[in-house]
Structure 1
Amino acid sequence: MNNSIESIKIKDNGLRHQVYKIIKDKIARGELKPNQRIFESRIAEQLSISRGPVREAIRDLAKEGIVINIPRKGTFIAACSIKDIEEIYSLRAILEGLAVRRSINYLSKKDIKNLENLREEMVTASKNKNIAKMVEKDMQFHKVICYSSKHTRLIKFWSEMDYQIRTFLVTADLVFYNPEQIAQRHNKIIEAIKAKDPDIAEKCIKNHINQIGKEIIDNFKKRSIVSSSTLKK
């Protein structure tokens, strides 16, 4: 089952948080789509729980802007705006540019091998049209670089964007089905890291992120994926 909440056995304690996480994970994997309506009663039935924890979880998601409640219409998965993508990707480019400059001094041969393995797993997932796995491996690749920077605040800010980045990538899935392009872009970053050239590494990762941001925006415009605010009209 792809676009509803699957039947999952969940623990009695912390139901609200568990339902919140289940819905959020489904969105990040592309199983719940932007502007798709969700139903409190249906989710409760599928999870075999009362509607109370589901209602609370949806309220929490609404506070974060992940879902939107529209009077007399229902609750919908929020879609991002072009401005959201521009802001997230411009900030991401700055953060990862700094991260790769710093991480060059800390990344071990084992870490670099891990980056190479993740690149290959991305390529394989792309060839298999497995967008969820490809996005997961891509995020792991960039996480290795960011966490290796040993910059606490950078890591914090980057981690806070993680969910939105995943959602953008999964929603714009048609952009990322080019295995050769994936390999080439990430190879440039890896080679600059191996050469311990912070200027080239920063340039490569910024170019990569800025290009992805542009492709996501173009893809969203082409497919008319727009902010859920338009549903109110």
Structure 2
Amino acid sequence: MELNEQRPEDYIYYYIRQQIIARELYPGNKIVEEQLAAETGISRTPIRAALKRLSYEGLLVSYPMKGSFVAMPTKKDMQDAYECRKLLEAEATRCASYHITDEELKELEDIFDQQKLVHRTHDMHTFLEINEKFHLVIAKASRNSFFQKYIQELTVRCNVFLLFYDKFQVTPLEDSFAIKEHRIIIDALRQRDPEKCYNAAVQHNQSTLDQLNKDKL
């Protein structure tokens, strides 16, 4: 989007994210506010708001008197995040098998169709947004507010690893394990089979972690 179509804070937020996706910014690089202001014509106040948002999501780290830097997520960070997410999503998906409505299943199918379309364009921004919606529909269907809260937070955190290490932009749709496993999860939910739902969610998170570890090497 052009700047005049977005709030300045949102523009800077996506501007920096795109530089990370394009590997124009690397882990450890400093974000220079003056340079951002010169490049975009945006004042320091919305720039700082965007940096704060990116720090909250884990893409940046900020230090007093030093500034903001592109995060340097470790293999241990990634392992811990996905182990926690695997446990939460497995149980949330199992619970969702008892409560999910036909309307929510239709919503998942619609999101799944969007994912396939976006994957073909290799638009990672949009794919991550749609992917987050997919997982949050399931968390909501668990009818457990704590699952919703913590799965949302973990999804945002895990996006950091996907942005840095996933080979989404060079992976053809037919080779995407994420798309295939989302199909399995939807089918298990449609069958209202709690064991299949639990196992599908475990497998999906483990596959993601295994692939990220492979891509990171």
Q: Structures share a fold, TM > 0.5? A: yes
Q: Which runs of 5+ in 1 are unaligned?
A: 12-17, 222-233
CA-based RMSD: 3.3
- 1:211 counterpart letter in structure 2: S
> Which has the larger Rg?
1
Counterpart-to-counterpart distance in 1, 2:4 and 2:39 = 8
> Partner of 2:164 in structure 1?
171
Alpha carbons of 1:26 and 1:165: their partners in 2 closer, same or farther (altered >3 Å)?
farther
Equivalent position to 1:101, from 90, 94, 97: 94
Output aligned runs, 1:147-166, within 5 Å. 147-166=140-159
TM-score, reference length from structure 1 = 0.74
Equivalent position to 1:210, from 201, 206, 211: 206
Counterpart-to-counterpart distance in 2, 1:120 and 1:79 = 33
Counterpart-to-counterpart distance in 1, 2:120 and 2:46 = 40
Output aligned runs, 1:3-82, within 5 Å. 7=3, 19=9, 23-26=12-15, 30=21, 33-35=25-27, 36-46=29-39, 48-51=41-44, 54=47, 58=51, 66-68=59-61, 75-82=68-75
> Partner of 1:229 in structure 2?
none
Counterpart-to-counterpart distance in 2, 1:28 and 1:162 = 16
Counterpart-to-counterpart distance in 1, 2:129 and 2:46 = 28
TM-score, reference length from structure 2 = 0.78
Q: Which runs of 5+ in 2 are unaligned?
A: none
Matched, 1:201 2:189: no
**3-state SS of the aligned residue for 1:190?**
helix
**3-state SS of the aligned residue for 1:105?**
helix
| Structure holding more helix per residue | 2
Shift in Å at residue 167 of structure 1? 2.2
Alpha carbons of 1:56 and 1:129: their partners in 2 closer, same or farther (altered >3 Å)?
closer
Alpha carbons of 1:77 and 1:23: their partners in 2 closer, same or farther (altered >3 Å)?
farther
**3-state SS of the aligned residue for 1:201?**
helix
Counterpart-to-counterpart distance in 2, 1:10 and 1:127 = 25
Percent sequence identity is 24
